[in-house]
């Protein structure tokens, strides 16, 4: 994961101390991956290993600096990590001028999630303020939950037998297939670099609708996406979608740095031709079930599907939906995120479509990442348009059926 953080004049030595101090507070960043046994295991280190570099672009013409910074950020994001040596964090301080710098902060996804990156940035700011003033930051480690505590809890979680039986029956029947408008057949598992399509869709009153219905704006947007993609499931009254779930469901985990997310599989019941409003409620229920039941986690279900039913795990989820929260404002903070410099090239994905969504009060912003070997650019644009129409129908005709009755026009 990459953050590009703009700042003004800084003391490089104090900033490096701040990064090292912050990393040492978190066991997710002070360990290495050991593979000398039957299964990989995490071995703690006394201090974190951090790669620190400094670059000076101030001698370039001003018009060339932005391009050079973007290229440098891409190279920084693409450099390999050494997990066996415990190298999980790389930093580059880029000087653009005496009063303008950018800190490129790259952390391996095995160690952090999006919330963790927010925590790290805030803690580096606090530590830098102290080091730059010639004092050590306050020690806030006493009594704080650590990633090891989370691992122990996860190992003690007992699968719910009834929910597991439901998934067994569903897998026995086979996963429902979304009849997506593929331009070319899926011949083999591929890992080509996909294409991206950013979009902003109007959804006036989305937050107000969600609030009145007892939903989150993301659940409402996900319901519209279910409508857009789930019109044809081969006669099955279910839509299966994968989504990224936070596992910060215990008190005290909000401030733990670590990979506290998992991919869950949603089973949305569409039987009975529900209205848009009723379907939204079912989507919210499926989200809640996935959050609270580890049996719905995609990794466990994939193992079960392949081991007991001979089902390729790739068939369980054609589509992944990711909720993107707006970055919290940090008024007066040391850093300002530089989204242009941090923009990453799309990476290979196991899913045919990945929808990253930020549901706002009156619109939905996002990026559709699609496999270019399966879909043309025009088809991807048509899918986004279909999503926009479904949002309009949810907000303007919420009590109409979510899909046409047989014989009606779509």
Residue 171 has pLDDT above 60, yes or no: yes
DSSP annotation of 111 reads T
Work out the number of other CB atoms within 10 angstroms of the CB of residue 308: 11
Q: What is the pLDDT of residue 204?
A: 97
Q: pLDDT-derived band of residue 112, with 50, 70 and 90 as boundaries? A: confident
pLDDT, average across residues 93-122: 91
Residue 155 has pLDDT above 70, yes or no: no
Answer yes or no: are the C-beta atoms of 21 and 127 closer than 8 Å. Answer: yes
pLDDT in tens, 296-306: 778 878 888 88
pLDDT in tens, 64-81: 999 999 999 989 988 888
Q: What is the pLDDT of residue 315?
A: 79
Mean pLDDT of all residues in the chain?
86
DSSP E strands in 330-372: the ranges are 336-337, 353-359, 363-370
Phi/psi region, residue 357 (left: phi>0; alpha: psi -120 to 50; beta: rest), is: beta
Q: What is the pLDDT of residue 332?
A: 63
Contacts of 254 by beta carbon, 8 Å cutoff, 6+ apart: 115, 248
pLDDT in tens, 193-238: 789 999 999 999 999 999 999 999 999 999 999 999 998 888 889 9
Residue 252 has pLDDT above 60, yes or no: yes
Q: pLDDT-derived band of residue 333, with 50, 70 and 90 as boundaries? A: confident
Answer yes or no: are the C-beta atoms of 147 and 28 closer than 8 Å. Answer: yes
Please state, in angstroms and rounded to a whole number, the distance separating the CA atoms of residues 196 and 216.
26
Please state, in angstroms and rounded to a whole number, the distance separating the CA atoms of residues 64 and 185.
43
Residue 294 has pLDDT above 90, yes or no: no
Q: What is the pLDDT of residue 89?
A: 92
Residue 98 has pLDDT above 80, yes or no: yes
pLDDT, average across residues 160-169: 80
Residue 164 has pLDDT above 90, yes or no: no
Q: What is the pTM of this model?
A: 0.84
């Amino acid at each position: 994961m990459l953050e590009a953080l703009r700042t003004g004049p800084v003391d490089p030595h104090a900033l490096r101390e701040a990064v090292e101090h912050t990393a040492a507070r978190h066991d997710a960043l002070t360990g290495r991956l050991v593979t000398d046994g039957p299964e990989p295991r995490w071995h703690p280190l006394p201090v974190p290993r951090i790669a620190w570099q400094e670059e000076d672009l101030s001698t370039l013409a001003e018009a060339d600096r932005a391009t050079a910074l973007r290229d440098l950020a891409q190279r920084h994001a693409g450099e390999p990590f050494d997990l066996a040596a415990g190298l999980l964090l790389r930093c580059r301080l880029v000087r653009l001028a005496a009063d303008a710098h950018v800190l490129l902060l790259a952390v391996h996804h095995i160690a952090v999630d999006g919330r963790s990156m927010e925590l790290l940035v805030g803690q580096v700011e606090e530590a830098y303020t102290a080091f730059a003033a010639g004092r050590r930051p306050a020690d806030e480690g006493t009594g704080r939950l650590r990633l090891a505590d989370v691992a122990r809890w996860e190992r003690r979680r007992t699968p719910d037998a009834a929910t597991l039986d439901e998934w067994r029956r569903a897998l026995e029947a086979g996963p429902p297939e979304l009849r997506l408008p593929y331009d070319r057949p899926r011949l083999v598992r591929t890992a080509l670099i996909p294409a991206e399509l950013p979009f902003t869709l109007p959804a006036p009153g989305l937050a107000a609708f969600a609030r009145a219905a007892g939903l989150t704006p993301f659940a409402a947007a996900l319901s519209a996406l279910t409508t857009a993609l789930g019109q044809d499931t081969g006669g099955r009254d279910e839509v299966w979608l994968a989504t990224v779930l936070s596992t910060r469901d215990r008190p005290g985990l909000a401030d733990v740095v670590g990979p506290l997310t998992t991919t869950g599989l949603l089973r949305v019941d569409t039987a009975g031709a529900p209205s848009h409003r009723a379907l939204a409620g079912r989507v919210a229920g499926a989200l809640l079930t996935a959050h609270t039941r580890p049996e719905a986690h995609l990794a466990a279900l994939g193992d079960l599907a392949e081991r007991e039913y001979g089902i390729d795990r790739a068939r369980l989820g054609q589509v992944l939906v990711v909720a993107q929260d707006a970055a919290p404002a940090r008024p007066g903070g040391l850093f300002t995120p530089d989204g242009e410099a941090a923009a990453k090239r799309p990476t290979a994905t196991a899913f045919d479509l990945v929808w990253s969504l930020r549901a706002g009060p009156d619109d939905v912003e996002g990026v559709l990442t699609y496999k270019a070997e399966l879909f043309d650019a025009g088809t991807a644009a048509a899918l986004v348009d279909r999503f926009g129409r479904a949002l309009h129908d949810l907000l303007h005709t919420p009590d109409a059926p979510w899909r046409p009755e047989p014989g009606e026009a779509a």
